Structure formats: structure tokens, C-alpha cells
Chain A
Amino acid sequence: MIKYALRRLLSTIPVMWIAVTASFFVLRLAPGGPFDGERPLPPVILKNLASHYNLDKPLIQQYLIYVGDLLRGDLGPSFASEDFTVAQQIMIGLPYTFTIGTAAFLIAIIVGVAVGCLGALYQNKAPDYILGALILVGVVLPNFLIAPILQLIFGIHLAWFPVGGWGDGSIKYLILPIVVLALPHAGRISRITRGSMIEVMNQNFIRTAKAKGIGPRLTVMRHALKPALMPVVSYLGPAASYLLTGSLVVESIFGLPGIGRYFVNAALNRDYGMVLGTVIFYMVLIVFLNLLVDIAYAWLDPKVRNR
């Protein structure tokens, strides 16, 4: 298993190199530069800035400098935030994004699986319809719509929670963003769980278990849940990478200092270092999460383990 994991990790290196190289050159080909804006800078200032950031060197030389720095673990400077390097900014934003993302991820799994199981057990009955309708709201409504509604109800009218900000990091500041982030994923997980659980519950080994007189609760917990979770696990990889890399919308609306907004803002600002830094960070995270999903698969399905 360790060998398999190492082989998987090594095989990602060429992919990552291609992605970094492609991102580097595509970014430079995009029209507009990091110092273009409403107030054009005089040529002398632009020259000084270009020299300061090595942008006056031939593109291939800039690339070699970047790759050289990268191999030494240096993600370089950010043009839009001069007091912090790209690596420093990512390290500053990560704890916030991870806190919110992890909580939303766990809540999405717990709520999604529970609702999905209930839906399957009460298939086409009232609880299934009611939960299904509620969960549909979470899936269908985009978070840029849900967030302001929750802010208005729970922040302004009821004044139960702060409308935004990180504050002192206490739970009251985190509840609304976590709910907004978790809701669509909980919805999708519940739909996947429900479908998968219905399929599993119709299989022979479950019928045998029922024939033996095992109650429905025990049947689900002991026999049906594990195989029914296989498709859910497949979904968890992308869901985790989405949640743990932060959400531009949620962080913007709630004014959270996470890393979700970095990529888009950096791309708009032509902040080359920050764009590449976030691309690399996301890639590493996705590779790592996919590896975890594979391990979870192996744990759930002995056939995978023995392959």
C-alpha cells in the first residue's frame, strides 16, 4: 500500500511540472500586465518595477528563475501585497480556510449521510419527500443567494450571529459561513447516499440479513452502510478539495481572510507569483486528497486492497 502510494505520488511530478509550465506561459500571454490600471505609471517607474521583479528579462530566463526558486521552496513575491511573499500569504490564509472548510466538510458528511439513509429507509414516504425537498433547496440555491438571506435573518433581524468577519474566531462567527459552505455538499452527499443505499438494500445479502430477523437499523449500520458509502467516498475527494481550498463567494461575502479569494483576485491583478503559487498549492492538495480517497476506498472494499 505504501509502495502504491509512493508510486502515485511520484507519477504526479511530471503532471505538476507541466501544469506549472503551462500556467507560467499562459499567464504571461494574457493581455494586460501586473502594473496596468486606471493610473498608468510613468515609463521610468515601470522600468524600475520590471527590473525589481525580473520582468525585464527574457521570458525563458524568467521561467528558469521561477523554477529554480520553486525547487528551493520559494514561491516568490506577490505584486499585490508587497509586505508578504506568496508562501507567507498562503500560510496566513490557510488556518482560516481550513477551519471553515473542515467543519463544513464534516457537517456535510454527517448530515448528508444521515439524511440520505433516512430517505432510503423511508423511500417514497413522507420523511423522504420532506427531507428531499429541504435538501434540494441547499443544492439548487447558490451560496451567493443563501448567504445574504442567512445574514439578513440571523445576523440583522434576529441578531443571533455576527453578519461577517472572523472576530475572535469564536463559534458564533463561524456558524453562518460553515452552514452556507456545507449546505450544497450535504445535499449532494444525501442524494448519492440515498440512491446507493436503495440499491444496496435490494441486494441478496441484505435480504438474507432481514430473513435472519435482524432489525432495519442494525441491517443498515452493520451490513448496508459500508458498501453504500463507496460512491460517497468518490465524491469526497473533489468536495474536500473544494472546501479546503476555500470559497471565493463565501469568503468575500463574510469578509473572511481565507485563501479562497486569492486565485481569482491574483488572476485579475496579473499577480503572476500569487497565481502560480495558488495553482501549485491546489495541485498538491488535490493530489494528497485523492490519495486519501484511494486509501479510504481500499479500507471500504477489500477487493481494491488486494489489487
Chain B
Amino acid sequence: MNQFTKKFLASAMLGTLLAFSAHAATLNIHNGGDPQSLDPQKLSGDWENRIAGDIFEGLVTEDAKDNPVPGQAESWTISPDGKVYTFKLRDGIKWSDGQPVTAGDFVFAFQRLVDPKNAADYAYLQFTIKNAEKINKGEITDFNQLGVKAIDDKTLEITLENPTPYFLNALMHYTAYPLPKHVVEAKGQDWVKIGNIVTNGPYKPVEWVPGSHVTTVKNDQWYGTKDLKIDGAKFFVLEDQEAALKRYRAGEFDIMTDFPTDQYEWMKKNLPGQAHVAPFSGLYYYVVNSQKPPFSDKRVRQALSMAINREVIGPQILGTGELPAYSWVPPGTANYGEPAYVSWKDLPYKDKVAEAKKLLAEAGFGPDKPLHAVLSYNTNDNHKRIAVAIASMWKPLGVDVELVNAETKVHYDQMQRGQVEIGRAGWLADYNDPDNFLNLLVTGVQMNYGRWSNPDYDKMIKEGNAETDLKKRAEIFKKAEQLALDESAALPIYYYVSKNVVSPKIEGFVDNIQDIHRTRWLSMKE
């Protein structure tokens, strides 16, 4: 029997065994894309986060509502200057192979994360840690200078470059998960293969068929295993949402993590209470190239922004009721309170259009001298529908819109090169803090596709980030946000919503702003 046949038979047999072992307490999740890796330092997608957050656990973890709660650390203290965090690890925490999880495993993981040789996509999320960025850039080669130290096996000290109020939220991110040093050192790159991988979360992976699914089972070594109601999960790869909905209807999936928006009305009638649409920490927006005339004129940008009828996009164009966005930071973001809003938010739409016409006329444009604008978006039915609708909203102003679509890679390549006039973009928060959104408009930041630049704004963001008093910090940020909105730095359109479909037999699923729902909080009715 050759290798090929052996692998095939082994996979079929394992599949059969798992199918027999699968009973009511196995959660079947439609997870969307194929995971790039099970190594938490190689991930970048929410579909990977769903698996990683079940099999690994950081110092801090999330509760069902996505609030930070103690994870591998039972407690922590923060120095008065807000720069030094000292974590006390729980007693008896172990890897799934029974080896203890030590402070050294965290040090090892953080050092590996910032090691340039490891080329971790998301290493920059932990650049708030002292010397992390310099090590990643190769400016410092002594990894001991990283601000992560093991005082002893049970005590970990993390020193930051500056006080960072959202640091505990950033520790919930998968880039902050510990790694089993003993396995990574013994197995090298293969440490993450099924059969080798060792994890410290509530579950451990036991099967991965690329293109099909990842299967997890309870990790008996985890400190809270006895309280787990779900025995394990199967995370299915399936990008075709229509097909996924059919499988959900046939009872093959218990949870869908996204659904076709045009089926929302049907689901409300036929699957009552199962479609969860909830505010999500994300913003859909258009950038306007503020380096290129006439878009460098604030009046042109504001006119374009005012003429977008945001109230119809969520309910009528998308059909899932996304809320209109008049701020840059989505409401409900932690450490912030109510965001700043555009001054014209509450004007009736016809008044907004009248004002927009006036502004464009002042800038030298109107029906006699139309403004030609190229609107670029990445290929997607919803992006297209929105672009067509907005182009028609701009038409009465005398704006002649040329729509250009390109595949995602090409679109973002052009956006980064500043080759678009008006371009579609979106941002989902990595961590729950206003800085994650406000940073998008800072001069020189890569995601600042419109290249809007204002020294006062940059100064305020820097000041806010150095402020340890959360109330004062929020005030500074709000001023900065107001400035960006007054300048129409970019055009916010709607706040994203999370779209899950949850079977009535699942309990404990709580909608939250980061759309994170760990299996450990769920249970299943028989």
C-alpha cells in the first residue's frame, strides 16, 4: 500500500471514528475560510481566531460578552506610571501534554513573535511592548532586551514603551498566546502539525483536513475542563454562504458565522430568532484622495459625504439593517463613550443635499461643470450595489462617477500607492479601543489610503496615547475625531454588524461588539 492510499484510508477511518464519537455535544460551526495555520503567530483572519481562541489561552481571556477576564494569569498589578504589568499565573496550569505552563513559555512566545525570522504578520499588534518594534526591525538583536521577563515560573513582568490603556485587550489577541517552548524547540516548524501540537486552551485540535474542517476535543489538562458543556467542535471550511445556509437548514451546522444578506428577510420569517445581527466593531467607509485636486478641497469631500444617504444603505441596499455611520469610531467602543459626530448629522437629507450642492458650487463644480470622479471598489456584490447607489446619490450634485472594480489584491495595492480618487475600504477592530480606528487617519500610516494629513490631529493622537487617565484620554481623542470629521478626512458610511445564525439548541451565545464567541461559554440542549 503506497503512502497516498495509506493517507487516504487513514483519513477515511479517522473520519468514521470521529463521526461515531460525534454526538449532541459536538458543536458544528460553519467557519468560512480555510485556516492558514494553527500557529497563533501565523494567523490573520477571524475564522482562524475562532479556532485559536478555543485551543489556546492568553494571560487574559474573554468572557461571553468579550470583556477581559483572567485567563492563564489569575491576577495582575499595574505600576503607577502604567508601564509595568506584573502577572501572577494560575496554580497548576498545564499544556495538553501535561507539562506545566510557565512564565518562560510566555517569554518564549513573545520573543518568537517579534523575531524578524519568524515573519509574523501581526507582530505589530504587540509593538507597545518595550523594544518589540526595534527587535522586529532588526535594530536590537538581543532578545533579552524585550520588555517581557519571567521573574519566576509563576510571575511574568511586561514593560511597555508607553502607558497603553488598551493593553489588557491587546493581550486577549492571539499574538499574545503562550507557546509550548519544549515542543516548538523539539519539533521546529512541525510543532503545529496534528500529532505534535500541544495547546493550553479549553480544547485541543485532533484533526485538520485542509479545505474541509478542523476538529477539537476537550483538553483534560485545562483548569476548567469540568465546567465545559461542549465536548468539542468541528470548524467547517465553506466559503459559499448559500451552500452553508442549506447545510444549516439540514441540521449539519449548529452555528453559521456569516450569511447571505439577501436571505435575511427569509430567515426572519422561516428561522425565527436564529439570525443574530448585532453591532460590530467595524466601519465601512470611502477614502478620498486628499492629495489630488479637486479632492484636496475640504468642501468637495464634505459635499460628497453629505450627499450619501446613509439611512437607506443598511435597511434597503444591504437588507441587514447596518447602522448609518456619522462618526469615525463606532459607538460602543471601549475606553471612549459616545464618539464625535459630523456637525450635519441630524439635518434632513434634502437639506444635506442642498448644502452639498452649495459647497460644490463654491468649489467650482455643478451641473454646468460636472465633477468627474473615479470610484474604485474591490469585487463584491455588496460593494458594487453600494457604489452604484452612492454614484446615483451624487448625480444630483453634478458629480459624474466612473465605477472601477478590481480584485481585492489589486484594489488594495492601488489604494496603498495612492492611485485611487475615491476608494472603498473597511476596518474591523483588532482590539476594542478608539485608537484602533483613529490611528487609520494619522499621517504616514499605511492604512491612511486617502493620505489626509493634519499635524494637529497627529499631535492629539500621540498625546491621547500617552495619557494614562482614561477620561482625559477619551476627551483628547474625541477632539481629534471631531477635527477629522470636520475636515471630512474620509467618508464613514456604515458600522458593520456581525451576522451569525445560531440554532435554538445552542445556549450561551451572547452578541458582542467584537463578535467573539468561545465554545467554552456555550452549551447545547439535547
Contacts and interface: CB of A to CB of B under 8 A. Distances in A.
Interface of A: 31-33, 35-45, 47-49, 51-52, 80-84, 89, 91-96, 147-148, 151-152, 155-156, 159, 162-170, 251-258, 261, 268-270
A256 B412 contact: no
Nearest to B17: A168
Given A83-B193, A164-B252, A48 B4 contact: no
Interface string B455-470: 0000000000000000
A253 B250 contact: no
A53 to B, nearest CB: 8
A32 B419 CA distance: 13
Contacts of A94: 4
Contacts of B247: 163-165, 255
Given A48-B117, A83-B37, A253-B243, A31 B211 contact: no
B243 A148 contact: yes
A154 B1 CA distance: 36
A83 B192 contact: yes
Interface in B213-266: 213, 236-240, 242-244, 246-247, 249-250, 252
B239 A37 contact: no
B119 interface: yes
Nearest to A259: B211
Contact of A32 (B7, B117, B407): B407
A135 to B, nearest CB: 26
A164 B210 contact: no
A269 B410 CA distance: 10
Contact of A40 (B4, B7, B447): B447
Interface in B383-415: 407-410, 412-414
Given A95-B11, A164-B243, 12 more contacts: A32-B412, A33-B409, A37-B408, A41-B121, A49-B119, A51-B116, A83-B36, A83-B193, A91-B4, A91-B7, A152-B246, A169-B15
Interface residues of B, number: 60
Contacts of A84: 210
Contact of B119 (A38, A48, A159): A48
The 8 closest A-B pairs by CB, nearest first: A32-B409, A257-B211, A257-B212, A95-B8, A52-B119, A48-B119, A255-B238, A168-B16
Contacts of B11: 95, 169
Given A84-B210, A93-B210, A163 B409 contact: no
Interface stretch (B38-46, B52-60, B61-69, B178-186): B38-46
B210 A36 contact: no
A162 B252 contact: yes
Contacts of A269: 409
A40 B446 contact: yes
B243 A39 contact: no
Given A42-B124, A93-B211, A270 B409 contact: yes
A33 B413 contact: yes
Contact of B408 (A38, A91, A156): A38
Interface in B70-94: none
Contacts of B239: 252
B260 to A, nearest CB: 12
Nearest to B239: A252
17 contacts: A32-B408, A40-B446, A40-B447, A49-B119, A52-B117, A80-B34, A83-B192, A164-B238, A165-B252, A168-B16, A168-B18, A251-B211, A252-B239, A255-B238, A255-B244, A256-B211, A257-B211
Nearest to A99: B8
Contacts of A270: 409
Contacts of A251: 211
Contacts of A31: 409-410, 413-414
A44 B211 contact: no
Nearest to A166: B212
A38 B133 contact: no
Given A81-B37, A252-B239, A167 B19 contact: yes
B138 to A, nearest CB: 8
B211 A37 contact: no
Nearest to A89: B210
B12 interface: yes
B502 to A, nearest CB: 18
Q: Which has the most chain A C-beta neighbours within 10 Å: B19, B242, B246?
A: B246
Nearest to A41: B121
B401 to A, nearest CB: 23
B285 to A, nearest CB: 12
B354 interface: no
B158 interface: no
Contacts of B133: 44
A33 B411 CA distance: 11
A254 B16 CA distance: 19
Contact of A38 (B36, B37, B249, B426): B426
A152 B8 CA distance: 30
Contacts of A164: 238, 243, 246-247, 252
Contacts of B213: 165
Contacts of B312: none
B16 A81 contact: no
Contacts of B7: 91-92, 95
B209 interface: yes
B121 A49 contact: yes
Nearest to B212: A257
Contacts of B443: none
Q: Which has the most chain B C-beta neighbours within 10 Å: A33, A39, A156, A258?
A: A39
Nearest to B449: A40
Given A38-B426, A257-B212, A83 B246 contact: no
A170 B412 CA distance: 43
A66 to B, nearest CB: 19
